[in-house]
Amino acid sequence: MTIVVTDNCRLCRFTECVTVCPVACFHADDDMVYIDNNVCIDCRACIPVCPVKAILSEDDLADDQKHWIEVNAERSSALPVLEDKQPPLPTAESRRAELGY
Ligand code: SF4
C-alpha cells in the first residue's frame, strides 16, 4: 500500500515521522516532506506520530488528495533523503492551529 504525505505537512514539517521510520524513505524541501514508496515498507509507524495528520495510506485519501501519490513520487526522487529530525518550520504552530490540531 502506498503511504503519502499530504498538504497538512506544508508549512509545518514537524518531522516526527523521520524519527520512527525504520528505513530512510523521507525526502524534504523547504516546505514539507515526501515519502519514497520504492523504499517504504508500509509499516505505518509514521502515520500516528504526525502532529497534523498529514500522512495517509492511499486507501484513506479523499478524491481531492489522490494527486499526492504522484507528488510524493516525483518530489522524493528529486530531493535528498532526510535522515534526522529537524526543527519545525517557523510557520508550524500557526499552521497547526489553522488546521485545528
Ligand atoms: Fe517509513 Fe513505515 Fe512510514 Fe513507510 S510507513 S514512510 S517505512 S515509517
Cβ of 50 less than 6 Å from ligand 1: no
- Contact present, 100 and 44 (Cβ < 8 Å): no
CA-closest residue to ligand 1 atom 8: 21
Cβ of 25 less than 6 Å from ligand 1: yes
Q: How far is the CA of 86 from the centre of ligand 1 (A)?
A: 17
CA distances from 42 to 11, 18, 22, 39, 57 (A): 25, 14, 10, 9, 9
What cell was used for 28? 524534504
Q: What is the residue-level pLDDT of the chain in tens, covering all 101 positions?
A: 999 999 999 999 999 999 999 999 999 999 999 999 999 999 999 999 999 999 999 999 999 999 999 999 999 999 999 999 999 999 999 999 999 99
Ligand 1, atom nearest to 42 Cα: 5
Q: Report the predicted TM-score, pTM, of the whole model to 2 decimal places.
A: 0.96
Domain range summary for the chain, segments of one domain joined by +: 3-84
Q: Is 99 exposed, middle or buried (0-12, 13-18, 19+ CB in 10 A)?
A: middle
Farthest CA pair distance, the chain: 33
Instruction: Say which CATH architecture domain 3-84 belongs to.
Output: 2-Layer Sandwich (3.30)
